[in-house]
A and B are shown apart, each in its own frame.
Chain A
Amino acid sequence: MWRRSASGADRSRAGLGWLLRRIGWLLGSLVVAASAVFLLLRVLPGDPAVTLLGIGSSPEQYDAVRRQLGTDRPLLAQYVDWFGGLLTGDLGEGLFTRTPVLDQITERLPVTLPLALSAFVASALVAVPVGVLAAVRRRGLLGVVLSGLAQLGIALPVFWLGILLVWLVAVRWRLLPPGGFPRVGWRDPGGAVESLVLPVLTLTVAQASLLIRYVRSATLDVLHQDYLRTARSLGYSLPRALWRHGLRNGAAPVVNVLGVLLASSLLGTVVIESVFALPGLGTLLLSSVQARDLPVVQGTVFLMTATVLLVGLVVDVVQRLIDPRLRGRA
């Protein structure tokens, strides 16, 4: 363990300054993200009035709908509304159902959060040991097989893997439902877990494959370090040497990639939920994009972006905590 030196107070002040700067940077990014989300949606082609009316209506009808939806107002006014709302935690209302976007999002969280978090935890649990093993046994059959499998997992498109699993496990063997979520949600816990097994498995295979590659190369780096050789020469067994010295040295980059993994688990739900017909954030985003329900798309994308940025902040803080070398830097 690192000990606090005489200048500990200075250090923690420096740390505080760093944290404040880091948070300031996060807020700045959020502002940029909010503006980018808003602008991109307006630049993209697509008019909610047209999706609402379908074709065959008169130009006056389209104009009337635009007036009703408020999409005819000057961009600046819409932007100010969006931004002002954000500051007060108000994401606005969906264009078509006139229900608050925040409610629409929170309705979907009981599906998406367990899905993304379980996939994240499962991938980490699988990938870290497998990655280390693949590195340690890299010249043996096991290492080659593990690396090969990880490579395969990366190459497989995630939706294809999902479809394959559904076909095999749900359609052929009838072990699990092919998709959907209980209508009563988590009040049917058995049903809810059942519906999430295949999606979590699919997402886990995809995420873990990536992570295995990463952990493997991080471990290889560590294996070649002098301190490890020294530890081994002092009589430590390899697992013990890895545990005592390797883990701490290799942890910082792995924490970094775990952050990326958490974010990609969240984003991965967009494809997965569609394949498994789950009523989560991903399908909300997809159907709102199709209908051009701009406030809902805006709110969902912004919230996902904010989560990713926040995870980034947490990763940076954790990295500083576990790696004292980073703390000297501003």
Chain B
Amino acid sequence: MPPAYRRRPLGLLATAVATTAALLLSACGGATDNASGSGTPDPDATITIGSLTEPTTLNTVKGGNTGHAQVLLRNVVEGLTVLTDDGTVEPLLAASWDISPDGTEYTFRLRPGVTYSDGTPLRAADVVTTLKRVISDESTSARKKNLSIMKEITAPDDATVRVVLSARSQSFLFYLTTTGAAVTKPGVGNPDTTVIGTGPYVLSEWKKGDSITLTRNDRYWGEPARNREVVYRFFTDATAEHNALLAGQLDLVTQVTSPDVLTQFENRPEFTIVEGTSTTKELFVVNNAIAPFNNVDVRRAIRRATDRRALLNAVWAGRGQILGSMVPPTDPWYEDLTGIDDHDPASARELLAKAGYADGLTFTVDYVPSDSSTIIAQGLKNQLAQVGITISLNPVDDATWTDKVYQRHNYQATIMTHVNQRDLIWYGDPDFYWQYDNPQVQQWVAASETAATPQEQTELLRKVARQISEDAASDWLYLNPAIKIASSAVTGYQKNNTTDSFYVAPISKRR
């Protein structure tokens, strides 16, 4: 019964449409416009930085994985020493130091005239408190174990700190650059949400889920920051972050996670793309303790079957660099070892045959899916298939990976990203998840720590890097590039991602 009903349009619909339109219209007009001028640097500029890692806490002695280092270290809090963008350790709050001939006693002389951002002077006793705190029960710092070699920490006077180590440690000054060893003013409230330091910025607001605002510390002892305010804005979604940059809401994005987004910014004068180096290494890891990977020929065959350049190309479109061992170029013991077991499928087959796997080999790769690991997993599958190795891919979530692979070592092979500086020494730990057990390497790693000179340490670790490569302890794929995209109006940001911090004081923005 199709009745005729052409009376009048339903008023409600019209109202709804009108309301929506009105809402839309009322919202137009307030558009953000960020002209990248060519004027002079503005000393009172606000720099807005996009980041995907919001801190879970601001407590400097909590965790190495909490995202606070990027915001706080060097900007709000400072240590006795600092790790610079090119990988060297330099003095910061310590003006200088003496080391006893046996290498176990450090006497630090503090920089004179340093105050906290609230105006109170920095005292040697506070440094002692900080250093004791990072190795206390309260601390969960990733470097707690390393720093626990400090057995005596005292302040002979207000400007001197004396640390006695239980053994000589070539890495001690490096370990002091960690966030947990950065000096914070004691007793200023909940350490999870408040922190007062001596850095060029004051932490002025943490709006959880949204942003952290740093304001220039006008009492700073050193060269003042070249901007008045830095806002870190946090995103859970990379696309949202890039859109904010495109729309002019951000001045800078600290790390691009895939080269695909670059096309939106290329050939546009208002944006600048900068490629630096990182310490973020992509690894194809096999469980050295179990068959068939306890056979060096199998491991070498896997390395020779791997076309690292093709993988790097697939993930990063030619950016980044391939690796021959566990050392990034900014670590002092870097050496180009990419010639060892380079891509050579024919000899990979021979090695497999020699190891008794002429008919091929099958194993499972557990991996946490991400843009890059998915591409790598597929690439490896195809490459290894060409030499008769069949891998089945098993995607797992983060937590499962940590439990199954990292803690219980219940896996055959995996794909993993390792971000730390100077993490070659993990090959000296037979219980580390790849279970590489070479007593010679363990001895070199231990000796490098107690070496008399940095040169000796470097020599020993070079040997380690070469030995693990010859043993094919892992299949090191490539070093991720550090790609930043910035508005062309800002300059002075660090190009590399080789430190935990992101030092923002030198950034300036043109009017």
**Which A residues are within 8 Å of any B CB, using their own CB?**
44-47, 50-59, 61, 64-65, 68, 96-99, 104, 107-108, 122, 125-126, 128-130, 132-133, 136, 139, 163, 166-167, 170-171, 174-181, 183, 190-191, 193-194, 197, 200-201, 204, 229, 232, 237-239, 274-277, 279-280, 283-284, 286-287, 291-293
Contacts and interface: CB of A to CB of B under 8 A. Distances in A.
Give the residue among A57, A181, A229 with the most B Cβ atoms within 10 A: A57
B268 interface: no
Interface of B: 1-3, 5, 7-8, 10, 12-13, 15-17, 19-20, 23-24, 26-28, 30-33, 54, 56-57, 62-66, 137-138, 140, 142, 144-145, 190, 192-193, 205, 207-211, 213, 231, 233-237, 239-241, 243-244, 246-249, 397-400, 402-403, 406-407, 420, 423, 426, 433
A50 B16 contact: no
Contacts of A56: 64, 142, 420, 423, 426
A179 B241 CA distance: 9
Contacts of B144: 61
A183 B208 contact: no
A55 B406 contact: yes
A287 B193 contact: no
Given A133-B10, A180-B210, A183-B205, A61 B399 contact: no
B8 to A, nearest CB: 8
5 contacts: A50-B406, A52-B62, A97-B56, A139-B2, A170-B243
Contacts of A61: 140, 144-145
Nearest to B10: A129
Contacts of A166: 240, 243
A280 B239 CA distance: 18
Nearest to B26: A193
Nearest to B34: A174
Nearest to B138: A68
Contacts of A194: 27, 30
Nearest to A238: B5
A279 B236 contact: no
Given A176-B31, A283-B236, A183 B249 contact: no
A148 B426 CA distance: 60
Nearest to A229: B1
Nearest to B64: A54
A96 B402 contact: no
The 7 residue pairs across chains A and B that have the minimum distance between CB atoms: A54-B65, A46-B399, A279-B209, A279-B210, A129-B13, A45-B399, A129-B12
B7 A237 contact: yes
B27 A197 contact: yes
A97 B195 CA distance: 13
Given A122-B16, A177-B32, A178-B247, 11 more contacts: A46-B398, A46-B402, A53-B140, A96-B57, A129-B10, A132-B10, A177-B249, A179-B249, A238-B7, A279-B208, A291-B56
A167 B264 CA distance: 11
B237 A277 contact: yes
A47 B92 CA distance: 36
B13 to A, nearest CB: 4
Contact of A176 (B27, B54, B63): B27
B208 A178 contact: no
Contacts of A133: 10, 13
Given A54-B64, A65-B140, A132-B10, A167 B399 contact: no
B63 A52 contact: yes
A52 B140 contact: yes
Contacts of B10: 129, 132-133, 239
Contacts of A107: 208
Nearest to B144: A61
Contacts of B27: 175-176, 193-194, 197
A46 B404 CA distance: 11
Contact of B240 (A136, A274, A293): A274
B28 A175 contact: yes
A17 B235 CA distance: 50
B209 A283 contact: yes
B420 A96 contact: no
A46 B397 CA distance: 9
Contacts of A96: 56-57, 62, 66, 192
A287 B213 contact: no
A53 B249 contact: no
Given A56-B142, A128-B12, A280 B65 contact: no
A297 to B, nearest CB: 13
Nearest to A69: B140
B192 to A, nearest CB: 5
B247 A174 contact: yes
A98 B56 CA distance: 10
A201 B16 CA distance: 13
B56 A180 contact: no
B247 A292 contact: no
Given A129-B13, A197-B23, A45 B240 contact: no
B247 A170 contact: yes
A201 B406 CA distance: 44
Given A47-B399, A171-B246, A275-B240, A53 B209 contact: no
Given A47-B402, A126-B20, A58 B145 contact: yes
Contacts of A97: 56-57, 190, 192-193, 208
Nearest to B231: A183
A330 to B, nearest CB: 36
Given A98-B192, A177-B247, A277 B208 contact: no
A183 B137 CA distance: 36
A51 B403 CA distance: 12
A274 B235 CA distance: 7
Nearest to A185: B207
B240 A276 contact: yes
